[in-house]
Structure 1
Amino acid sequence: MPIRGSVVLGNSLGHSTQYFKSLEELDAWTDNPTKKLTTPLKYHPRKPKAEESNPKGKLLVCHDYKGGYTESPVDLSYTFNYWSACDSFIYFSHHCVTIPPHGWITAAHRQGVKMLGTLIFEGGAEPDCLRLLVGKLPKSSTGPAVHLSSPSSIPVSPHYARVLAELAEERGFDGYLLNFDFEQTRALSTWITILQSEMRNIVGPHSEVVWYDSIIVSGKLAWQDRLNSLNLPFFLSSQSFFSNYTWRNDYPNLTAQISIWVTKMFCRALHPSLNNFIYVGVDVWGRGSHGGGGFGSYKAITHISPDSLGLSVALFGQAWTWESEQDKPGWTWQAVNNDEVPVPQVSKRTGEPDCTHWSLSSPSRRSSTITHPPIPCTSLCIQQFSPGVGHGCEKGWTDVDKQTSVGDLVWPQPVIAWEGEDGDISLRLSLTDQGSPSVYRCIWLPTTYEATAFYKLDVAADLDVSLSVKSSAEDTVTITPLTGNDTTVAQGWVKLSIQFSVPSSSSSASIGLVIAIVTEDPSESLAASLLLGQLNVFRAPSPSPSSSPMILWADYSSQGALTWEVAASLPATVQRPFTSAEDPVPLWDIQPCRDPSFLYYNVYASPFSSPTYAGRPEDATWIGTSGYSGDAKKFVVESPVKTRTRFYVQGVTEHGDVLPWERCVFVDSPVL
């Protein structure tokens, strides 16, 4: 048991902040960072399963026991003991940001199960949800340097996506369930891609973002009970989909059909089948769930068909087995063995096909695959056969952190197997690859790149300058000039842009400038020079319209420090007309959006010439570049600002492009 006695002293229950009721509370946590927790066990995946042409579905469990956070070291509480059948576990509550308790995280990770928190914005939380998209707001007077001439979406900031990922990394959990009631759906779907990117960068590639079937593309709260075109953009923006649980028994088949079409059209290169990432909801409390919930929940699972359709199961409220009984007068666990197990009788819905189910008493019927914990070479295999609760004090105790597997060969039904006389234990590391005479092997993945160069003629001359790439092998590099190649950007600088693919036989390639001299008399000597400002090579972006980076706001502190935040906005687009709920094509193009990346930022200053006028941003004086202080989005003004001054912040993207002024910001220093 965790403590001796019946009184909890001090902050012995773990971290001081268990959840956040609002983003304002989350901001307060951000302003006062805490040390990373060391108690949760680090996640290590289970041994990968062999490749299957039709992989079986997975099991996600969504825990909602009495609103959450009921665990006490001096009381008997609910714990979960079926980790070997579970792939992901969500600790759910109705707080804005739900953080799984560290004990639950350790118990899940010990068995190779992902532990997810919850991010929820229900009715009335629209201001907080809007804040989630645009990011934390400054306290200074700030605004766009030049107002946008064309309409675009509301700005989408990576601020809270980054904060939430940092929170998950600090506390040791692996992702979030997203449950939203909000109208700005297109910007929201873009923000989800940012969250997923931040989670992968900060938490790791195993992180998971799950979208709950709540709002549709119009922003209306309308549970669809399946995947269709009305909620498809949110699924494609996240990693997994959790359907509502009031579905008819033919809905899983409809979901599987649209998943097949989506896989063929969008995701074949990423996933052979998306069905595993679609969790069909089953409410154990039976609120409109097929089979009536409770001990009739298995009826719903048979229609989800994890073995045949490959869809996954999301089991919500599994603690019903405790919560529905434990508060009844005179009830004890010791008397439960002889009770009859009731299976609810539920009438068929109107228009629902007939269906039959096997009996609950049928032996050896499993709807999920039993899996093993991580291999010992990556994570210690500890078996104490503790369910995480006990009766060792006045009212019992709970310590989920100490929970280990109870043993799927022992409980709930023993499975007997003769092990023979060979008790040797060995570890075999296997690496599978196709045969090759080479001692050293590598796999080449063909990639298309873009290259940009910024040059400026130092002496007037008639020169034709272009970019070129040469392979180290004899193969020819495919080069395609891009639209807008050879474009004058500002102050005489010219931008060159090409796209190229390196052949598989090349181990390296050279990139440079090809300069053609144009002259009427080639016999005459020529003196010419040019300045090469930047040369960038990067992976070619998606051909679909992408987001545009911007600086969202800037702030000025009394100590003379400038800070700012970045965001991205989407281009104006025409939404495809809605045709049918069965149409697998989303109503708008899904545009993955990550944290806008900048090489650096230039800072300019312009004193006010009158109480209300500080001049144009083009006329401001450059005073420095960010980065020297070690903070990419901070600049400290060395000299005290004695007169009211307007500062401009202008970013240079990772591709070398200088942001136009309409995508930059200003901030005013106060009057001393």
Structure 2
Amino acid sequence: MRPVMAAADEINEATSVTEEEIHPLKTLEELLKWQEPKSCVEEIQHVTQLCSSTCSNSSAHPLTLVCHDMKGGYLDDRFYKGCKNKDAYRFYSWSGVNAFTYFSHSLVTIPPPGWIHAAHVHGVKVLGTFITEWDAGAEICNKILADKSSVQNVVLQLTRIAKYHGFEGWLLNIENKINPEQIGRLTDFVERLTSSMKEVCPNALVLWYDSVTREGELKWQNELNEMNRQFFDVCDGIFLNYTWNEDSLIRSREAAGERKFDVWVGLDVFGRNFYEGGKFNTYKALEVVRAQELSAAIFAQGWTYETQENFVEAESKLWLSLSPHLCHHGPADLPFKTSFCQGFGEKLFSQGEVVCSDNWHNLCKQQYQPLWAQEIDGGNLSLVTSDAFSGGGCLRLTTSKPTKIRLLTCKISWKIALVISLTYKWQSKSTIPFSLILRHKQIAGNSTDQPLEEDIILPCEEDTRTATSENCPSLVVDTGVNGWRQKTFSVPEDEGREVCEVDIWVDGEASIFIGELHIYNRCIKGLQK
């Protein structure tokens, strides 16, 4: 058996929204009558576009999807403007994730805008869920698959919904028997939806859940084989059920051939009838999945929030254990700016000043997150909400000895002067040397006499360390903003090279708040030394 993938106001005019919150569509009638709301919802109309990131679309690495199922979905995250429950669930370990699915047991699960924003900021694709279950699901499928016209109507509606809400695809989860005579039309539905989504979104991703077989039986295979291959062949990939074993992974890889990265192996963090019991042993399952170079679909990652006493500690433990088996990515577009806010706070800050003293939670306000899943010898990276430069929180770096902490993995190239601004505040009684370090390397295909990798050191406080790059930066702005120190550097143009890491070096025992990092490459009047 698969794990159980464990309302609100009445939906008006068969739309998916009211004035304040988003809803799923629960019936086929609602789906077919769906139309764009007459009133504009700002959070949807101006949804954050999918940002570019390193590795996320790489053909050289297996990928990772997070399937978010929590108590039926549409909890505090359903409100467009957020809520006052600062302790509502949030996700911030985006650096190792390539796709995000919002799941519920309603027929059409539409991801709330906050999740779309948070994922897109980090270059992560977002999928909704189309699910039919049991006898009621069989009846719905019978209606949809009655003829080609019915299939096409559902395809068009699902495509329109995804386009309007600004997400990239669908997880198709048919959890009921299908009339064998309609299997061909079901395959056609999967193929048509995949094609239709790509017409409106070149980055579209449509996945088939391992459930119904080519004979119409509800029989989970836990592998890719001839019983489910015809669905795999007409979409972007298959999400395997969770009760697989190592032999079934080997068979799946052999069956997939060149499409091995399109096999997303289900990992149930709750550990229900699952390899090594899931929970903090989930990494053991991921390890054997990666041994076959298959992608992974991590289901119900919110286990750390639902069951553990200390969510932050549990989240850190889980993702640190998974980290060696993830392909971490980071920003590739300029300008890049983040205060590292996670989308909640005890207060709301702007330019280092409190502009609202109320608790709040709104994933639409989450900003780019650092590489949380890392072991730091002699140091610690954490979030502080008692102070911030912008949003609801800032980073705190604490060190007990000379330490380097990686903030980001990235892929940033520049052809004109690169401008980097760091806003920080000392918590230590005395300052010590610390620097922002840009690790840069040759862009693939460029052949020069320069070393493959070099460090550009931006000394925020006096630093006697020697840069390995001839690209010496210049300090162009050094100012104070409401108790925060803001330093801006200019790095000369260096065509043919790209920044691949952003690190911070602290030369001893210290405690520092990092309030904002801003990187851009345009000429600004007044930024000349």
TM-score normalised by the shorter chain: which range applies?
A: 0.5 to 0.7
Quote the residue 1:57 is aligned against. Answer: 62
The corresponding residue for 1:245 is: 242
User: How far 1:175 moved relative to its partner?
Assistant: 0.5
Q: Which residue of 2 aligns with 1:174?
A: 168
The alignment status of 1:105 with 2:110, answered yes or no, reads no
Higher relative contact order (CA 8 A, sep 6+): 1
Which stretch shifts more, 310-319 or 385-394? 385-394
Residue 151 of structure 2: aligned partner: 157
Which of the numbers 348, 362, 371 marks the counterpart of 2:329? Answer: 371
Find 2:338's aligned residue among 376, 383, 391.
383
Which of residues 83, 89, 98 is equivalent to 2:100?
89
Q: Distance in 2 between matches of 1:113 and 1:131?
A: 34
Alignment of 1:232-311 (within 5 A): 232-260=229-257, 273-305=258-290, 308-311=291-294
- Matches of residues 325-344 of structure 1 in structure 2 within 5 Å? 325=308, 331=309
Structure 2 residue corresponding to 1:18, chosen from 13, 16, 23 = 23
C-alpha deviations, 1:340-394, integer Å up to 9, x for none? 98x9xxxxxxxxxxxxxxxx998x9611111013412xxx533121122233499
TM-aligned CA distance change 1:28 to 1:383, over 3 Å: same
Does residue 133 in structure 1 map to residue 145 in structure 2?
Answer: yes
Is residue 131 of structure 2 the alignment partner of residue 120 of structure 1?
yes
Greater share of strand: 2
State whether structure 2 residue 60 is matched by structure 1 residue 46: no
- Kept in 1: contact 2:267–2:299 (CA 8 A): yes
CA deviation map 1:590-630 (0-9, x unaligned): xxxxxxxxxxxxxxxxxxxxxxxxxxxxxxxxxxxxxxxxx
Structure 2 Cα separation of the partners of residues 14 and 411 of structure 1: 41
Match of 1:223 among 212, 220, 225: 220
The answer to whether residue 405 in structure 2 is matched with residue 416 in structure 1 is yes
How far the C-alpha of 1:187 sits from its partner, in A, is: 1.0
How far apart, CA to CA, are the structure 1 residues paired with 2:144 and 2:371?
43
1:463-478 correspondence runs (5 A): none
Q: Per-residue deviation at 1:250? A: 2.2
The secondary structure found in structure 2 opposite 1:62 is strand
Q: Is residue 143–residue 150 contact of structure 2 (8 Å, CA) maintained in 1? A: no
CA drift of 1:25 comes to 1.3
Q: Residue deviations 1:400-439, cap 9 Å, x none?
A: 1111233116867565365434341648589xxxxxxxxx
Distance 1:365 1:155 in 2: 46
Counterpart for residue 192 of structure 1: 190
1:288–1:159 CA distance, 2 compared to 1 (3 A): same
SS in 1 for 2:171: strand
SS of 1:250's equivalent in the other structure is: helix
Cα distance in 2 between the residues matched to 1:240 and 1:50: 14
Report the 3-state secondary structure (helix = DSSP H, G, I; strand = E; otherwise coil) of the residue aligned with 2:266. strand
Query: How many angstroms apart in 1 are the aligned matches of 2:132 and 2:211?
Result: 11
Structure 2 residue aligned with 1:27: 32
What secondary structure does 1:81 align onto?
A: coil
Report the residue type matching 1:254 in the other structure: R
Structure 2 partner of 1:320: 303
Name 1:660's counterpart in structure 2.
Answer: none
1:89 and 1:115 in contact (8 A); partners too: yes
Give aligned-pair identity as a percent: 31
Please list, as runs of the form range in 1=range in 2, the aligned pairs for 1:252-651 lying within 5 A after superposition: 252-260=249-257, 273-305=258-290, 308-325=291-308, 331=309, 366-376=324-334, 380-392=335-347, 396-408=359-371, 413=376, 416=405, 419=455, 420=457, 421=467, 422-423=472-473, 424=491, 426=493, 428=495
CA distance in 2, matches of 1:428, 1:406: 27
Distance in 1, matches of 2:494 and 2:155, equals 41
1:312 Cα deviation after fit? 0.4
Q: TM-score, normalised by structure 1?
A: 0.49
Distance 1:333 1:193, change over 3 A: closer
Unaligned runs of 5+ in 2: 1-11, 77-81, 348-355, 382-403, 407-436, 438-454, 458-466, 474-490, 498-529
What amino acid is the match of 1:250? Answer: D
* Greater Rg by CA: 1
1:412–1:397 CA distance, 2 compared to 1 (3 A): farther
Query: 1:537-572: per-residue Cα shift (whole Å, max 9, x none)?
Result: xxxxxxxxxxxxxxxxxxxxxxxxxxxxxxxxxxxx
Instruction: Tell me if the contact between 1:35 and 1:170 (Cα under 8 Å) persists in the aligned partners.
Output: no
Q: 1:321 to 1:233 in 2, by over 3 A?
A: same
Separation in 1 of the partners of 2:100 and 2:149?
A: 33
Q: 1-side partners of 2:40 and 2:121: how far apart?
A: 23
Corresponding position of 2:430: none
After superposition, the Cα gap between the structure-2 partners of 1:65 and 1:32, relative to the gap in structure 1 and judged at 3 Å, is closer
CA shift digits 1:454-479 (9 cap, x unpaired): xxxxxxxxxxxxxxxxxxxxxxxxxx
The residue that corresponds to 2:415 in the other structure is none
Q: 1:43 to 1:340 in 2, by over 3 A?
A: closer
TM-fit CA distance, 1:288: 1.2
Alpha-carbon displacement from aligned partner over 1:502-535 (angstroms, at most 9, x marks no partner): xxxxxxxxxxxxxxxxxxxxxxxxxxxxxxxxxx
Distance (whole Å) between structure 2 residues aligned to residue 109 and residue 29 of structure 1: 25
Contact preservation (8 Å) 2:260, 2:294 = yes
Residues 427 and 51 (structure 1 numbering): CA distance in 2 closer, same or farther, change over 3 Å? farther
Q: Does the Cα contact within 8 Å between 1:100 and 1:117 map onto a contact in 2?
A: yes
Amino acid at match of 2:344: V
In structure 2, distance between residues paired with 1:340 and 1:229: 39
Q: By how many angstroms is 1:208 displaced?
A: 0.8
Letter in 1 for 2:328: I
RMSD: 3.4
- Conserved? CA contact 1:211–1:238, under 8 Å: yes
Is the Cα–Cα contact under 8 Å of residues 283 and 289 in structure 1 kept in the other structure?
A: yes
Letter in structure 2 aligned against 1:40: V
Query: SS of the counterpart of 2:106?
Result: coil
Secondary structure of the corresponding residue to residue 233 of structure 2: helix
Q: CA separation in 1, counterparts of 2:187 and 2:372?
A: 44
> Retained in 2: the 8 A contact 1:45–1:374?
yes
Relative to structure 1, is the Cα distance of residues 98 and 191 closer, same or farther in structure 2, using a 3 angstrom cutoff? same
Unaligned runs of 5+ in 1: 1-10, 136-153, 261-272, 326-330, 344-359, 431-672
Distance 1:87 1:361 in 2: 17
Aligned residues of 1:84 and 1:373 also touching (Cα < 8 A) = no
**Secondary structure in structure 2 of the residue aligned to 1:258:** helix
Question: Of 67, 90, 112, which aligns to 2:72?
Answer: 67
Q: Would you tell me which structure has more helix in proportion to its own residues?
A: 2
For the residue of structure 1 that corresponds to 2:92, the secondary structure is coil
Q: Give the 3 Å change call, closer, same or farther, for CA 212–394 of structure 1 in structure 2.
A: farther
AA at the equivalent of 1:92: F
| TM-score, normalization by structure 2 | 0.61
Counterpart of 1:213 in structure 2 is 210
Distance 1:14 1:374 in 2: 35
